[in-house]
Copies of this chain bind each other. A is one copy, B any other.
Amino acid sequence: MSGVRIVEVSPRDGLQNESVRLTTAQKAELVERAVGFGARNVEVTSFVHPGKVPAMADAEDLMASLPARDGVAYSALILNERGLDRAIAAGVSEVNAVIHCTDTFSRRNQGTDIDGGVQIWHNIARTARAAGVTANLTVAVAFGCPFEGEVPLDRLRSIVSRVLEEPPAELSLADTIGVAVPVAVRERVAVAAELVTSGTALRAHFHDTRNCGIANALTAVEAGVSILDASLGGIGGCPFAPNATGNIATEDLAYALERSGIDHGLDTVALQEAGDWLEALFGRRLPAGVLHAGGFPTPSPVSN
């Protein structure tokens, strides 16, 4: 195993569902700390309707405040061509677009059905290419939908096959609502792996809603995924909406990878400091286990 790249998504997926609202300057510090602990791709914001996701209304201001750094990509989530236009205008070099695996979820999140979502992706891919912007694609609710329940494997195969007519730089399978288990991850990553060509890297995105997130992440890596999303402290989800919970925690993922002998490239001391800072900023206990328990114990024999 040559290593896994962790995409730090706390500024976007972590913050969009939190009751705690950070200022643009605080978000910039979060991004800065993520770069400081070694993240080379930080999903910093989303260019979506500010009325629908108020926490991301400062997308342009945040982008403008981030210093350019060699080897660091500040990526942004988009849902449609309008979002792409805004991202390009803001100088974003890498975008994460989304396709959904059920019509119901797609209509609610993207305002169109699956077929419409495929068309949006094709449009985004072409426009991004012309603009010199890297375009990734997330296949959302790939493991189950809160409205429709099971997502048939054949439907996933069909969706992946159709979106790959315009291959993304990274194709991500997302367990948007945290229902996946390892056998499903193995099965669904295999479907994606069969279909992608060499120019597309496999990525995955897990929530720890049912405490299966790290199990799913490690299984995804075994199945060929080389890029994983994670969120500092495991933030995300709203204390007032018990069904929404955070991404897998960057701290826990780094621990699990490291103890599995898989390189992750992060500085765990700086990571711990960043998590402590974020927890203090939030003023509540964050879900990351390693943040509180620490890493593997170093020997300290005591006299008896």
Contacts and interface: CB of A to CB of B under 8 A. Distances in A.
A228 to B, nearest CB: 14
Chain A residues touching B, majority SS: loop
B212 A293 contact: no
Interface stretch (A14-22, A77-85, A181-189): A181-189
Contact of A179 (B150, B218, B296): B296
The contact size tier of chain A is: 35 or more
Most chain B Cβ neighbours within 10 Å, of A147, A184, A213, A259: A259
Q: What is the count of identical protomers in the complex? A: 2
Interface string A30-70: 00000000000000000000000000000000000000000
A283 to B, nearest CB: 16
A128 interface: no
A117 interface: no
Closest 10 pairs between A and B when the two form their complex, measured CB to CB: A215-B215, A149-B299, A210-B289, A181-B259, A242-B292, A211-B289, A211-B252, A107-B304, A209-B293, A183-B260
Interface of A: 104, 107-108, 144-150, 177-179, 181-184, 208-215, 218, 234, 242-243, 245, 248-249, 252, 255-256, 259-261, 287-290, 292-294, 296-302, 304
